[in-house]
Every structure is written in C-alpha cells, then in structure tokens.
Amino acid sequence: MSDLDYRKLLKKVQENTSTREFVEDRFKLPKAEIFYEGNTTFIKNFDKISDAVNRNPDHVLKFLLGGLGTSGEILSGRVVFQGKIPAKQIQDKLKDYIDTYVMCSECNRPDTHLVKQGRTILVRCDACGAFRSVKSRRKKTVQQPAETLKEGMTYDLTIKDIGRKGDGVAYFDKYIVYVPGAVKGSMIKVKIEKISGTVAFGHAVAV
C-alpha cells in the first residue's frame, strides 16, 4: 500500500469515527408518558426513564417528590403521584434531575455514575474521567421561588380542564384550582375561598 493510499484510508476512518461519536453524544430522555385518573397523576414509562439515565428509580422518585411537593410511589414500573400535577412541571423536574445527577460538566455526556465520599455525593464520568460534586452542578440552575396562593385574594387564571363534577380546573404554580361553572379555555378572575395542600377552591369574580 502506498503512503498516499494509507493517508486516504486513515482520513476516511477518522471521519467515520468522529461522525459516530457525534451521534452517540446526543442524549435524549424518553418523554414522560403522563395521564390522570381522578386526583392522581401517573408516569406510565417511569421504569424506562430511570433506565435511560442509569439511576436507581427510588433515587429519581425521591428527587421528584421533593421538587413537586407531593407524595407518591412506584407500582409495577409506573409512578403514582397524589394530586393532578401539570405535565410540564414533571418534565422540568426530570430535566433538573438529569442536570444535577447525570450529565458530566466537562464532556456533557450522560455516561456517569454516583460516588459517595463521606457526606458528599460525586458524579463520576466514565467517558472522560472527570468528576464533580452534586452541589457544584446545582449552582448553574437557578430555582425560581414558588408562588403561593392566598385565601381571599383574586388571581387571573385560565381554565385548562373540566373536572369530573363539572368544575373548571386551572393551575397556578403547584396548585390546582377548582372553579364552579367556569368554561374550558376561558381566562377569568378567580377569588380563592379555600386552600387545602396544593388544591384550592374559588369562584369567578365579575370584572
């Protein structure tokens, strides 16, 4: 084989290798398959999500429960949350978990595992060998303070759903607000009458 042929072959191998690595570097989290039954929220494919991030399902669940401010459990590969949790809120918390406990801060790949040293949890990358503490990655994500509903106050809300009893259902941060007689899709002013945990009850106020 001539030197010129060798160089051409080497260049071709390098190009194929770099292309393959670029494809493998892309990490796509399976989208959470969320559905509701009454006042409970399910993630149907929770087992696939925990497998994709290569983390203990109980660890992922504990993080979600703390971030969503609710209770829940794993049943046959699914997660059941108490309350009707907005899908976007769940998906955002899953992304927070990945950013905090999975992604490498150096090569930005998910090929990592958790290592505990004393009271410190480290994220160790199997791809590049880098490691960081969990807290150092968290600093990059600024958590916005949760808004709080107050009884007797009036809020502008959009009715997103209709409950089983015919009440309109709106969402305000972590709260689910039930409004009797409200029409789905309407934006109305709602005066909060009662709050119980993350569930609130109110009535439409005439403008």
pLDDT in tens, 83-139: 989 999 999 999 999 999 999 888 888 889 998 877 788 898 888 888 788 865 544
In a domain, 161, yes or no: yes
Residue 90 lies in a domain: yes
pLDDT of residue 40: 93
Whether 13 is in a domain gets the answer no
Examine residue 74 and state whether it is found in any structural domain, yes or no: yes
Q: Mean pLDDT in the chain?
A: 82
Q: Is 23 helix (H, G, I), strand (E, B) or coil?
A: helix
SS3 content of the chain, % helix, strand, coil (to 5): 30, 35, 35
Taking alpha carbons only, the member of 148, 56, 169 closest to residue 102 is 56
Residues 111 and 97 in one domain: no
Percent of the chain with pLDDT over 90: 43
**92 and 33, same domain (yes or no):** yes
CATH of the domain at 188: 2.40.50.140
Assess whether 135 and 174 both reside in one domain.
no
168-172 and 154-162: which strand pairing? antiparallel
Residues 33 and 98 in one domain: yes
* 98 shares a domain with 108: no
* The model's pTM: 0.56
98 and 34 within one domain: yes
pLDDT at residue 139, rounded to an integer: 45
- Whether residue 38 is found in the same domain as residue 62: yes
Angle between helix 46-53 and helix 87-101 axes, rounded to 10 deg: 20
Same-domain status, 179 and 114 = no
Domain assignment present for 193: yes
Decide if 98 is inside a domain: yes
What mean pLDDT is predicted for residues 187-204? 91
Sign of CA dihedral 193, 194, 195, 200: negative
Q: Which domain does 174 fall in, by range?
A: 154-205
Kindly give, in sequence order, each residue whose CB lies less than 8 Å from that of residue 11, ignoring residues fewer than 6 positions away: none
Gap between the Cα atoms of 160 and 41, Å rounded: 16
Residue type, 5: D
b vs e for 96-114, b when ≥16 Cβ sit within 10 Å of the residue's Cβ?
A: bbbebbbbbeeeebbbbee
The total number of structural domains that make up the chain: 3
